[in-house]
Amino acid sequence: MGDDAAPGMPFTKSEMMIVAAARELAGQRVCFVGVGLPNIAVNLAKRTVAPDLELVYEAGVFGAQPARLPLSIGDPTIVSGATAVTSMWDLFSLYLQGGLIDVGFLGAAQIDRFGNINTTVIGPYDHPTTRLPGSGGACEIAINARQVFVIMRQSRRSFVERIDFRTSAGNLGGAEAAARIRREQGWIGSGPSVVVTDLGVYHFDETGEMRLDSLHPDATLDDVRATIGWEPKIAPDLATTATPTDEELRLVRVELDPEGAYTR
């Protein structure tokens, strides 16, 4: 973003997060779409940087062409016009565990520095303070997709030193252990590769730990440190995320989320 960039429309932190997440999908072919924020990010990518992206939904759809952004990921719009509708057994066995998914796109309630994810409980499992939805398909997506992208808002409650429950495996205790387990267990995936938040974009370094590579405009490193439960690694050549274009904002506001369900 140079000084000579034309001033675009104002945008919210959520819109920046969704746009940045969509851009990460450039060049990808087959994406397994998780419930919630991944849904709008992936649908935006299909309309911008990745028009040939095949959208896969755990409900049993390959090659969806949603005409509207569904509230749920089992909406009738993902069926009409799709390439294939399959049983869930087909989808999880042949498409996912069989290794056809390039990117699994997940949300999370808690994440640690190695990209391990909790979507099950806050507090102890038997007496949780907050009962979250659980795995759904996330624990299988996390190990069987070739790589995993995560989109979630950053806070001290969500970016934690120690997650309360490991629902989905990321880089476990670090890259070395993760590589060994993946090899021994015959997992097809190489684990988490991107985390996009309302403050920036992280990738994973050679130790398997999250590293901030791009800071969103208007966000500061103080904001980042104040909302993360460990001392975050920052790329020496930290970039500034390009602001959303007018067209990206139009797609999000007018076409994908006119009621503001995802961007509020």
Partner 1 sequence: MRDAVAELVRDGDTVAIEGFTHLISFAAGHEIIRQRKRDLTLARLTPDLIYDQMVAAGVARKLIFSWLGNPGVGGLNAIRRRIEDADPAPLEIEEYSHFGMVGRYTAGAANLPFYPLRSYFETDLPTANPLIRPIASPYGDGIVYAVPPLKPDVTVVHAQRADAAGDTQVWGLLGCQKEAAFAAERVIVVVEELVDESVIRADPNRTIIPGLIVDAVVVEPFGAHPSYVQGAYDRDNRFYREWDPISRDEAALQAWLGDWVHGLDGRAAYVEKLGAERVAALRPSGSAPSGSVDYGRYG
The DSSP string of 53-100 is: PEEEETTTEEEE--SS--SSTT-GGGTTT-SEE--HHHIIIIIIITT-
Q: How far is the CB of 198 from partner 1 (least distance, A)?
A: 19
Q: How far is the CB of 100 from partner 1 (least distance, A)?
A: 15
How far is the C-alpha of 251 from the C-alpha of 259, rounded, in Å? 13
Q: How far is CA 94 from CA 34, 79, 206, in A?
A: 18, 19, 31
- H/E stretch holding 130: strand 130-131
Active site residues: 58
Residues in 69-98 that interact with partner 1 by CB under 8 A: 70-76, 79-81, 85-89, 92-93, 96-97
Q: How far is the CB of 84 from partner 1 (least distance, A)?
A: 11
Q: How far is the CB of 134 from partner 1 (least distance, A)?
A: 5
| Choice from 9, 26, 83, 131 touching partner 1 (CB under 8 A) | 131
Q: Are 41 and 105 in contact (CB under 8 A)?
A: yes
Beta carbons within 10 angstroms of residue 232's beta carbon? 19
Residues in 210-239 that interact with partner 1 by CB under 8 A: none
Contact between 2 and partner 1 per CB under 8 A: no
Nearer to partner 1, 8 or 63 (CB): 63
Nearer to partner 1, 94 or 234 (CB): 94
Contact between 181 and partner 1 per CB under 8 A: yes
Contact between 186 and partner 1 per CB under 8 A: yes
Cα angle value 136/138/144 (rounded, 5°): 130
What does the binding site for partner 1 look like in residue numbers (CB under 8 A)?
35-36, 58-61, 70-76, 79-81, 85-89, 92-93, 96-97, 120, 125, 127-140, 143-144, 165-169, 172, 181, 184-187, 261
